[in-house]
Amino acid sequence: MPELPEVQALAERMATACAGRVLERVDVLSIPALKTFDPPVQALTGRAVDAVTRHGKFLDLATDGGPHLVVHLARAGWVHPRASFPAKPPSRRGPLALRLVLDDGSGFDLTEQGTTKRLAAYVVTDPGQVPGIARLGVDALAATPEQLTALAAGARQRLKTFLTDQSVLAGIGNAYSDEILHTARLSPYALAASLDAGRLARLHAAIGRELGGALEQLRAVPIEGLKSEKKADLAVHGRAGEPCPVCGDTVRSVNFADSSLQYCPTCQTGGRVLADRRLSRLLK
């Protein structure tokens, strides 16, 4: 799933490509992806693109004097820049969800792989009208040490849940939460409210280092290379069975909630192997 660094890098690339351009056409190829009907999609067309920004993991394309097009790429969505488009209208079958055509003939295809379609697009007069944006907590990259301390003190969550809860900290998903906890040398199962000042300082530094570092690297990569660059850069996420790059211990995977997480026992849990906390198991 694209997280804060990738979505920020995508927004910056789109902003550059759209500078001074008019949105000539927006094709909605996946009808279920469009979550709003008023204003209509057509209200976007013929308008200059004002800015492309990010809120949490949402992309926000603002038009001059018109509505915003807000997109959440979900787990398998992506943005592909196109220099031009074929004259033939695209098929409604396939991964293409939305097509944005600019007045110079270039633009973007927004696609979603897989059978579970979660990519969501909204046409709104204010991005705050998107429920997922209205709920967002503090932007993870902008959170100050004081904000993080206050959020942790008020949370009754384990660190893995705390970091990925968009209403607490916006922008962190499954991959970067694993990386942040590994860098901070903290157990994903530790309770957020139990962290002392030293651990909170480590967590804050790790958030900045992981997200900021990833963003710096991704800014140097073309859009099509962002996903492979992210993968190559991960120390523990998706690397179960491989040696930890810090200590050489074997990276472990454990089921947690409705997903799995990866961690290094030596770096993060005092050598202890974590027990399964899958939601389905707990419900039995």
Binding site for Zn ion (CB under 5 A): 244, 246-247, 249, 264, 266-267
- Residue where the block lists tokens 């900290």: 169
Chain position whose Cβ is nearest to Zn ion: 244
CA distances from residue 275 to 11, 193, 269, 282 in whole angstroms, order as listed: 39, 21, 12, 12
CB atoms under 10 Å from CB of 283, counted, come to 6
Whether 233 and 214 have beta carbons less than 8 Å apart is answered as yes
Cα–Cα distance measured from residue 280 to residue 37, given in angstroms and rounded to the nearest whole number: 36
Max Cα–Cα distance, the chain, nearest Å:
61
| Minimum distance from residue 202 beta carbon to Zn ion (Å) | 15
Task: Choose between 247 and 279: whose C-beta lies nearer to Zn ion.
Answer: 247
| Minimum distance from residue 243 beta carbon to Zn ion (Å) | 8
Task: Choose between 118 and 185: whose C-beta lies nearer to Zn ion.
Answer: 185
Residue type for 80, please? H
| Minimum distance from residue 270 beta carbon to Zn ion (Å) | 12
Task: Choose between 202 and 227: whose C-beta lies nearer to Zn ion.
Answer: 202
User: Which H or E run includes 227?
Assistant: helix 226-233
| Minimum distance from residue 121 beta carbon to Zn ion (Å) | 40
Query: How do strand 77-82 and strand 107-112 relate by DSSP bridges?
Result: antiparallel
| Minimum distance from residue 251 beta carbon to Zn ion (Å) | 8
Task: Choose between 160 and 182: whose C-beta lies nearer to Zn ion.
Answer: 182
DSSP 8-state code for residue 33 = G
Task: Choose between 53 and 183: whose C-beta lies nearer to Zn ion.
Answer: 183
